[in-house]
Structure 1
């Protein structure tokens, strides 16, 4: 068992994600716990759930129009089933990110994008617009111990502000840019006011969301070191620098080393060495039992490199609020998945985890409330969740204790081929 360590505890959190007409997600209402594992075969829409967070993260960093254009335009991100592209999509989040919010009185955020043909035009011309809404709990309520609500909504070129804070109230709706977004601070409220402060924190959480899918070739390459405050990159291309930072966190480093040597007993130690003849570039070196010298990560197996990337991610003591992991079982030996499930639960105390998998062996280690069964219908629309948590519990009970993964793989829970 890896040694216990002190890390960041989760305060802000996302409670629910709702989506309409984003890629294959025509209508999704997904509760989000500390650990949420999306289970299903290929091409049922699991990755699209992760792409929603990636989309919001890019909006928080770059803005709405730039994010949509980078993905090839509205037609490429909207649901494409049926004969016509849907004229709008919507993404909503519920969670706790303002001081008086709670699970029973959550904060809310929604972003709607509308793409409608200009009236009277036969072809080619569309209006593209957004509607953005924040519901925040920044003030204590006057009665019944209920938090006071502030509502801010951006509608085309005006902002409707109904704030619990007197300093933010305005006599008439102020003007805003047509594609302004509060996620980039483009709301006409005082910068030091409670709403602006909360929205900045929420936008920062979204901007830091990572959708992790390690690129083994990128992780193997020498890379620059010495960049302060680095998270492990989405593709693990800065693995060398991240390991150097993790080594400064003694308990986290020892826990990672113990896991690696447990899963690959031939490895005795992990080292980082500067590459001769380069300017500040380093590479990961593995000390292997009964072998002279060190083995470069460039010569290690695909599975070993991906395992190192993944467990380094899960031992990060200072992660963002949300971490998404694509195909978490990819390249790992089945015997590693039991330990992986333990590390997922430990990490979920510091970062919410949204994970996709095809592996029954991993699902065997999960609880019903951690599993989300995913399906896709003949029209190309994803059904997520396809089976309720209550139904999963009923099937488990009726099976007299068969493992969840075996039940899913047999088709008893849905989400099969």
Structure 2
């Protein structure tokens, strides 16, 4: 059962962790993860990845899933669950590359800021074993944290093979010697040579919580149509929307959010007059969604609603969540929606980005028309199979917009003027 993040309960949910509204990711860098051979991506309140199929947009979202699983389960189980290093490393060229790196900059300690961000990096290294074991490989990791617990000062923690190194001016965080640790340990799971209540451990624990709370939302309409078990109060909408009915039951307890959702749904689907959440027939622990439609007797089960109607309900429920995690990723947000719905969707994205960072993929020029140059990231794939993200700088996008004398962004992208159109 998915439960709401602890980060929303009070102004300082974890000691040493910045408040949820101030905590955010500022930049993602990736080397050799799937098609992302070299990417440096600024992350604003709303970041929309635009480009053709197989350009690598989804792989950006997969990076956050990967880090979330590292924080939950550890490095080796996460790599093995994806088929091994050879499956997640870039597979272009004649040989599997020996190194992969993921880096994040953001704010998750008390004195971090946009000009002095916290940093996290995870490098995975694969080296061929020499001698009689030729053909076998040695797998290792390198992990580094930079944290700001005091003004104008930073602590650095680095895990190198089977040792750890700590550089900190915080009392009690200095080490007399390099301690021995497991060669594949990760600080995201608390494998650190520091006291459990030290500022660095608490800040890293907060980062791990942020990462495990990141949603990569890709609604499964069939799952969303089914009755869902009644869960705990305050749960999030599941990544596949399989608990939609229960989430809506909780959302009805937030009158402002519920009224706003109902207004949007009835605006986009005028035949709908109301949305009910009722006990599922023959059960005592499941609820189902019923729609009251104009000029029709009785209620329409969500199982009988159109694909687009269910998608609208899923997406707008997600965007009206008053207590989201720090980041929400949405896969192919325009899928199944009428073009006229995309203008309102863009408005709700921008409003929701005041409560949660949004990282979104789309193919829809109509949606891109509603965005600002700094909100879109053009994505392409080169002849060698590597993604180019961003393929065009924000400054270049702005120059093209100015030269076009006001043509919409979506039209410029679709025409190929911004790159990433085909």
TM over 0.5: same fold?
yes
| Cα displacement (A) at 1:115 | 1.3
CA distance in 2, matches of 1:100, 1:122: 49
| Cα displacement (A) at 1:279 | 3.6
1:338-417 equivalences under 5 Å are 338-417=343-422
Q: Does 1:133 align with 2:135?
A: no
Q: Deviations over 1:76-114 (max 9, x none)?
A: 100000000011100000011100010000000000001
When the two structures are superposed, what TM-score results if normalisation uses the length of structure 1? 0.96
Contact 2:20 2:326 in 1 (8 A): no
| Cα displacement (A) at 1:229 | 2.6
Contact 1:9 1:349 in 2 (8 A): no
Aligned to 1:337: 342
| Cα displacement (A) at 1:120 | 2.2
Residue among 241, 252, 255 paired with 1:250? 255
Contact 2:121 2:143 in 1 (8 A): yes
Contact 1:227 1:241 in 2 (8 A): no
CA distance in 1, matches of 2:231, 2:206: 27
Long gaps (5+) in structure 2: 1-9, 11-18
| Cα displacement (A) at 1:123 | 4.8
Aligned to 1:311: 316
Contact 1:334 1:361 in 2 (8 A): yes
Structure 1 residue ranges, 4+ long, deviating more than 6 angstroms after superposition: none
1:270-309 equivalences under 5 Å are 270-309=275-314
| Cα displacement (A) at 1:227 | 2.3
Q: Does 1:77 align with 2:82?
A: no
Contact 1:138 1:164 in 2 (8 A): no
Long gaps (5+) in structure 1: 1-6, 141-145
Local SS of the residue matching 2:276: strand
Local SS of the residue matching 1:92: strand
Aligned to 1:184: 189
CA distance in 2, matches of 1:387, 1:115: 32
Aligned to 1:220: 225
Q: Does 1:114 align with 2:125?
A: yes
| Cα displacement (A) at 1:125 | 1.2
Residue among 1, 15, 28 paired with 1:17? 28
1:19-34 equivalences under 5 Å are 19-34=30-45
Aligned to 1:64: 75
CA distance in 1, matches of 2:73, 2:371: 37
Superposition RMSD on alpha carbons, in Å? 1.2
CA distance in 1, matches of 2:404, 2:289: 47
CA distance in 2, matches of 1:231, 1:33: 22
Aligned to 1:198: 203
Q: Deviations over 1:232-277 (max 9, x none)?
A: 1110001111111111111011110000000001101111111222
When the two structures are superposed, what TM-score results if normalisation uses the length of structure 2? 0.94
